[in-house]
Protein backbone atom coordinates (compact mmCIF):
# COMPACT_ATOMS: atom_id res chain seq x y z
CA UNK A 1 0.00 0.00 0.00
CA UNK A 2 1.54 3.28 -1.16
CA UNK A 3 -0.06 6.29 0.55
CA UNK A 4 1.05 9.91 0.55
CA UNK A 5 0.71 12.33 3.43
CA UNK A 6 -1.32 14.61 1.16
CA UNK A 7 -3.81 11.82 0.51
CA UNK A 8 -4.14 11.21 4.24
CA UNK A 9 -4.66 14.92 4.88
CA UNK A 10 -7.45 15.06 2.30
CA UNK A 11 -8.98 11.82 3.57
CA UNK A 12 -9.01 13.05 7.18
CA UNK A 13 -10.78 16.25 6.18
CA UNK A 14 -13.47 14.39 4.22
CA UNK A 15 -13.87 11.88 7.06
CA UNK A 16 -14.16 14.70 9.61
CA UNK A 17 -16.90 16.57 7.74
CA UNK A 18 -18.40 13.64 5.79
CA UNK A 19 -18.76 16.18 3.03
CA UNK A 20 -16.51 16.66 -0.03
CA UNK A 21 -17.49 20.29 -0.49
CA UNK A 22 -16.66 21.31 3.09
CA UNK A 23 -13.40 19.35 2.93
CA UNK A 24 -12.43 21.14 -0.29
CA UNK A 25 -13.17 24.51 1.29
CA UNK A 26 -11.17 23.58 4.40
CA UNK A 27 -8.15 22.51 2.30
CA UNK A 28 -8.47 25.35 -0.25
CA UNK A 29 -8.85 22.82 -3.06
CA UNK A 30 -11.45 22.22 -5.73
CA UNK A 31 -13.96 19.46 -5.15
CA UNK A 32 -12.69 17.45 -8.16
CA UNK A 33 -9.18 17.62 -6.70
CA UNK A 34 -10.44 16.24 -3.40
CA UNK A 35 -12.36 13.47 -5.18
CA UNK A 36 -9.26 12.54 -7.18
CA UNK A 37 -7.13 12.23 -4.02
CA UNK A 38 -9.74 9.98 -2.41
CA UNK A 39 -9.99 7.79 -5.53
CA UNK A 40 -6.20 7.39 -5.62
CA UNK A 41 -6.13 6.51 -1.92
CA UNK A 42 -8.93 3.94 -2.31
CA UNK A 43 -7.11 2.42 -5.27
CA UNK A 44 -3.96 2.08 -3.17
CA UNK A 45 -5.86 0.60 -0.21
CA UNK A 46 -7.86 -1.72 -2.43
CA UNK A 47 -11.12 -1.09 -0.60
CA UNK A 48 -13.74 1.68 -0.64
CA UNK A 49 -13.32 4.12 2.24
CA UNK A 50 -16.67 5.88 1.83
CA UNK A 51 -20.14 4.73 0.87
CA UNK A 52 -22.88 6.95 -0.51
CA UNK A 53 -26.54 6.93 0.61
CA UNK A 54 -28.37 9.53 -1.43
CA UNK A 55 -26.59 12.83 -0.83
CA UNK A 56 -24.91 11.61 2.37
CA UNK A 57 -21.63 9.76 2.72
CA UNK A 58 -20.45 7.47 5.49
CA UNK A 59 -17.18 5.80 6.38
CA UNK A 60 -16.95 2.11 5.53
CA UNK A 61 -15.34 -0.28 7.99
CA UNK A 62 -12.08 0.16 6.09
CA UNK A 63 -12.58 3.93 6.20
CA UNK A 64 -13.01 3.90 9.97
CA UNK A 65 -9.80 1.91 10.38
CA UNK A 66 -7.94 4.22 8.01
CA UNK A 67 -9.24 7.29 9.88
CA UNK A 68 -7.95 5.94 13.22
CA UNK A 69 -4.52 5.24 11.75
CA UNK A 70 -4.47 8.60 9.97
CA UNK A 71 -5.07 10.39 13.27
CA UNK A 72 -2.18 8.50 14.87
CA UNK A 73 0.12 9.27 11.94
CA UNK A 74 -0.82 12.94 12.01
CA UNK A 75 -0.19 13.13 15.75
CA UNK A 76 3.22 11.48 15.38
CA UNK A 77 4.18 14.01 12.72
CA UNK A 78 3.11 16.87 14.99
CA UNK A 79 5.08 15.39 17.88
CA UNK A 80 8.16 14.97 15.69
CA UNK A 81 7.89 18.58 14.55
CA UNK A 82 7.61 19.84 18.12
CA UNK A 83 10.57 17.72 19.26
CA UNK A 84 12.72 19.06 16.43
CA UNK A 85 11.65 22.63 17.19
CA UNK A 86 12.44 22.05 20.88
CA UNK A 87 15.89 20.73 20.01
CA UNK A 88 16.45 23.91 18.03
CA UNK A 89 15.67 25.91 21.17
CA UNK A 90 12.28 27.20 19.94
CA UNK A 91 9.40 27.26 22.41
CA UNK A 92 6.80 26.22 19.93
CA UNK A 93 4.00 23.74 19.63
CA UNK A 94 0.30 23.00 19.70
CA UNK A 95 -1.25 21.75 22.94
CA UNK A 96 -4.53 19.81 22.91
CA UNK A 97 -6.20 19.86 26.33
CA UNK A 98 -9.64 18.56 27.29
CA UNK A 99 -11.20 19.35 30.65
CA UNK A 100 -14.24 18.39 32.67
CA UNK A 101 -16.96 21.03 32.62
CA UNK A 102 -16.34 21.83 36.29
CA UNK A 103 -12.60 22.26 35.68
CA UNK A 104 -13.30 24.85 33.00
CA UNK A 105 -13.87 27.39 35.79
CA UNK A 106 -10.09 27.47 36.33
CA UNK A 107 -8.63 25.79 33.21
CA UNK A 108 -8.56 28.99 31.18
CA UNK A 109 -6.58 30.75 33.92
CA UNK A 110 -4.07 27.91 33.96
CA UNK A 111 -3.68 27.98 30.19
CA UNK A 112 -3.35 31.76 30.15
CA UNK A 113 -0.58 31.61 32.74
CA UNK A 114 1.15 28.83 30.81
CA UNK A 115 1.17 30.62 27.44
CA UNK A 116 2.53 33.76 29.10
CA UNK A 117 5.59 31.67 29.89
CA UNK A 118 5.69 30.00 26.47
CA UNK A 119 4.51 32.66 24.07
CA UNK A 120 5.00 30.52 20.97
CA UNK A 121 2.53 27.88 22.15
CA UNK A 122 -0.89 27.52 20.59
CA UNK A 123 -3.58 25.46 22.28
CA UNK A 124 -7.04 24.04 21.75
CA UNK A 125 -9.36 23.51 24.71
CA UNK A 126 -12.32 21.15 24.71
CA UNK A 127 -14.82 21.21 27.58
CA UNK A 128 -16.82 18.02 27.94
CA UNK A 129 -18.42 15.56 30.33
CA UNK A 130 -16.69 12.65 31.99
CA UNK A 131 -17.86 10.03 29.49
CA UNK A 132 -16.60 12.07 26.54
CA UNK A 133 -13.23 12.72 28.23
CA UNK A 134 -12.66 9.00 28.75
CA UNK A 135 -13.58 8.36 25.11
CA UNK A 136 -11.11 11.02 23.95
CA UNK A 137 -8.34 9.46 26.03
CA UNK A 138 -9.12 6.02 24.62
CA UNK A 139 -9.05 7.37 21.06
CA UNK A 140 -5.84 9.36 21.73
CA UNK A 141 -7.57 12.55 20.56
CA UNK A 142 -5.91 14.91 23.07
CA UNK A 143 -2.59 15.37 24.82
CA UNK A 144 -3.86 15.72 28.37
CA UNK A 145 -7.15 15.74 30.27
CA UNK A 146 -7.99 17.58 33.49
CA UNK A 147 -10.75 15.74 35.36
CA UNK A 148 -11.67 13.94 38.55
CA UNK A 149 -10.08 10.59 39.31
CA UNK A 150 -10.58 8.27 36.33
CA UNK A 151 -11.68 4.65 36.85
CA UNK A 152 -9.05 1.92 37.13
CA UNK A 153 -8.34 -0.56 34.39
CA UNK A 154 -8.50 1.81 31.42
CA UNK A 155 -4.77 2.11 30.78
CA UNK A 156 -4.48 5.68 32.04
CA UNK A 157 -1.88 7.59 34.03
CA UNK A 158 -3.37 10.08 36.51
CA UNK A 159 -1.54 12.50 38.78
CA UNK A 160 -3.38 14.50 41.46
CA UNK A 161 -2.58 18.21 41.64
CA UNK A 162 -5.29 19.88 43.75
CA UNK A 163 -8.24 19.26 46.04
CA UNK A 164 -11.76 19.62 44.65
CA UNK A 165 -14.15 20.18 47.58
CA UNK A 166 -17.86 19.51 46.96
CA UNK A 167 -20.24 21.65 49.02
CA UNK A 168 -23.97 21.95 49.62
CA UNK A 169 -25.48 25.17 48.26
CA UNK A 170 -28.76 26.91 49.05
CA UNK A 171 -30.51 30.15 48.13
CA UNK A 172 -30.00 32.99 50.64
CA UNK A 173 -32.21 32.78 53.70
CA UNK A 174 -32.76 29.02 53.62
CA UNK A 175 -33.95 27.60 56.96
CA UNK A 176 -30.95 25.28 57.27
CA UNK A 177 -28.59 28.26 57.45
CA UNK A 178 -29.58 28.54 61.13
CA UNK A 179 -28.21 25.06 61.91
CA UNK A 180 -24.42 24.93 62.34
CA UNK A 181 -23.49 22.32 61.49
CA UNK A 182 -26.47 20.98 59.53
CA UNK A 183 -27.04 17.30 60.51
CA UNK A 184 -26.85 14.93 57.54
CA UNK A 185 -30.24 13.47 58.48
CA UNK A 186 -31.81 16.92 58.03
CA UNK A 187 -30.93 16.82 54.34
CA UNK A 188 -33.35 13.93 53.80
CA UNK A 189 -36.25 16.35 54.13
CA UNK A 190 -34.90 18.53 51.32
CA UNK A 191 -35.14 18.20 47.54
CA UNK A 192 -31.84 18.20 45.64
CA UNK A 193 -31.03 19.32 42.12
CA UNK A 194 -28.27 16.96 40.95
CA UNK A 195 -25.90 16.26 38.07
CA UNK A 196 -26.66 13.55 35.56
CA UNK A 197 -25.88 9.88 36.19
CA UNK A 198 -22.25 9.07 35.43
CA UNK A 199 -20.86 12.49 36.27
CA UNK A 200 -17.99 12.58 38.76
CA UNK A 201 -19.90 14.84 41.15
CA UNK A 202 -22.98 12.60 41.10
CA UNK A 203 -20.92 9.46 41.72
CA UNK A 204 -19.02 11.02 44.64
CA UNK A 205 -22.22 12.40 46.16
CA UNK A 206 -24.07 9.07 45.97
CA UNK A 207 -21.12 7.16 47.45
CA UNK A 208 -20.79 9.67 50.31
CA UNK A 209 -24.43 9.44 51.40
CA UNK A 210 -24.70 5.68 50.88
CA UNK A 211 -21.75 5.12 53.23
CA UNK A 212 -23.58 7.14 55.89
CA UNK A 213 -27.01 5.60 55.38
CA UNK A 214 -28.58 8.85 54.19
CA UNK A 215 -31.11 8.88 51.35
CA UNK A 216 -31.52 12.10 49.37
CA UNK A 217 -34.64 13.10 47.49
CA UNK A 218 -33.66 14.24 44.00
CA UNK A 219 -36.07 16.46 42.14
CA UNK A 220 -34.26 17.23 38.87
CA UNK A 221 -31.17 16.17 36.99
CA UNK A 222 -29.04 18.80 35.26
CA UNK A 223 -26.20 18.32 32.79
CA UNK A 224 -24.24 21.43 33.82
CA UNK A 225 -23.18 23.15 37.02
CA UNK A 226 -24.62 26.42 35.73
CA UNK A 227 -28.06 24.84 35.44
CA UNK A 228 -27.82 23.49 38.99
CA UNK A 229 -26.79 26.87 40.40
CA UNK A 230 -29.61 28.66 38.59
CA UNK A 231 -32.15 26.09 39.80
CA UNK A 232 -30.97 26.43 43.40
CA UNK A 233 -31.02 30.22 43.15
CA UNK A 234 -34.61 29.98 41.89
CA UNK A 235 -35.61 27.96 44.96
CA UNK A 236 -36.08 24.58 43.26
CA UNK A 237 -33.95 22.75 45.83
CA UNK A 238 -30.48 22.39 47.27
CA UNK A 239 -27.45 21.42 45.21
CA UNK A 240 -24.02 19.86 45.56
CA UNK A 241 -21.30 21.37 43.40
CA UNK A 242 -17.57 21.97 43.37
CA UNK A 243 -16.48 25.06 45.30
CA UNK A 244 -14.51 26.00 42.18
CA UNK A 245 -17.77 26.84 40.39
CA UNK A 246 -19.05 29.34 42.95
CA UNK A 247 -16.75 32.40 42.92
CA UNK A 248 -19.24 34.79 41.27
CA UNK A 249 -22.32 33.57 43.18
CA UNK A 250 -20.65 33.75 46.60
CA UNK A 251 -19.20 37.19 45.91
CA UNK A 252 -22.63 38.56 44.95
CA UNK A 253 -24.36 36.48 47.68
CA UNK A 254 -26.76 34.89 45.20
CA UNK A 255 -25.98 31.49 46.73
CA UNK A 256 -24.78 30.35 50.14
CA UNK A 257 -22.66 27.36 51.18
CA UNK A 258 -24.35 25.43 53.99
CA UNK A 259 -22.11 24.23 56.83
CA UNK A 260 -23.11 20.57 56.72
CA UNK A 261 -21.81 17.77 58.94
CA UNK A 262 -18.86 15.89 57.35
CA UNK A 263 -18.70 18.35 54.44
CA UNK A 264 -17.05 19.26 52.16
CA UNK A 265 -16.67 16.00 50.24
CA UNK A 266 -13.01 16.08 49.32
CA UNK A 267 -12.28 14.95 45.79
CA UNK A 268 -9.17 15.76 43.77
CA UNK A 269 -8.32 17.09 40.35
CA UNK A 270 -6.06 14.96 38.16
CA UNK A 271 -4.05 15.56 35.02
CA UNK A 272 -4.56 12.41 32.95
CA UNK A 273 -2.93 10.85 29.89
CA UNK A 274 -2.87 7.51 28.15
CA UNK A 275 -0.54 5.06 29.81
CA UNK A 276 2.81 5.04 28.02
CA UNK A 277 1.92 8.00 25.81
CA UNK A 278 4.98 9.96 24.76
CA UNK A 279 4.12 13.57 25.45
CA UNK A 280 5.40 16.30 23.16
CA UNK A 281 7.78 18.80 24.80
CA UNK A 282 4.94 21.32 25.06
CA UNK A 283 2.50 18.80 26.58
CA UNK A 284 5.14 17.65 29.07
CA UNK A 285 5.88 21.27 30.00
CA UNK A 286 2.17 21.90 30.60
CA UNK A 287 1.81 18.77 32.72
CA UNK A 288 4.81 19.80 34.82
CA UNK A 289 3.39 23.31 35.12
CA UNK A 290 0.01 22.02 36.37
CA UNK A 291 1.54 19.64 38.91
CA UNK A 292 3.97 22.24 40.21
CA UNK A 293 2.19 25.59 39.95
CA UNK A 294 -1.59 25.10 39.60
CA UNK A 295 -2.32 26.14 43.19
CA UNK A 296 -0.70 29.54 42.59
CA UNK A 297 -3.37 30.49 40.04
CA UNK A 298 -6.50 28.93 41.54
CA UNK A 299 -8.38 30.31 44.53
CA UNK A 300 -10.93 28.35 46.54
CA UNK A 301 -13.82 30.81 47.07
CA UNK A 302 -15.39 30.68 50.48
CA UNK A 303 -12.81 28.24 51.87
CA UNK A 304 -9.72 30.49 52.01
Domains contained in the chain, CATH given? 5-70 (1.10.10.10), 89-162+268-297 (3.40.190.10), 164-267 (3.40.190.10)
pLDDT above 50 (res 304): no
Question: 93: phi > 0 → left, psi -120 to 50 → alpha, else beta; which?
Answer: left
pLDDT above 60 (res 212): yes
**Residue 151: pLDDT band by 50, 70, 90 thresholds?**
confident
Phi, psi of 129, rounded to the nearest 5 degrees: -90, 175
pLDDT tens digit string along 259-278?
999 999 999 999 999 998 88
Find, among 274, 22, 279, 287, the residue nearest to 160 by Cα.
287
90-117: average pLDDT: 85
pLDDT tens digit string along 30-89?
999 999 999 999 999 999 999 988 888 999 999 999 999 999 998 888 878 777 766 554
Exposed e or buried b for every residue in 108-124, given b needs 16+ CB within 10 A? Answer: eebbeebeeebeebebe
Tell if the pTM clears 0.85, that is, is over it: no
pLDDT above 80 (res 111): yes
Amino acid sequence: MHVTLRQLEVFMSVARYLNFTRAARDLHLTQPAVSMQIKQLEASVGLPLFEHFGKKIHLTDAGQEMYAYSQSINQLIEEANEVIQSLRGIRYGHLKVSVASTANYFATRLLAAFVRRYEGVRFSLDVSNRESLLRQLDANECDLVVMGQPPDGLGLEAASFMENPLVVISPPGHALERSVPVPLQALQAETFVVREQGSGTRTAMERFFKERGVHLRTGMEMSTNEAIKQAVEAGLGLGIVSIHTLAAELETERLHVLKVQDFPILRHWYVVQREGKRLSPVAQAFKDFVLRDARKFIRLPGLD
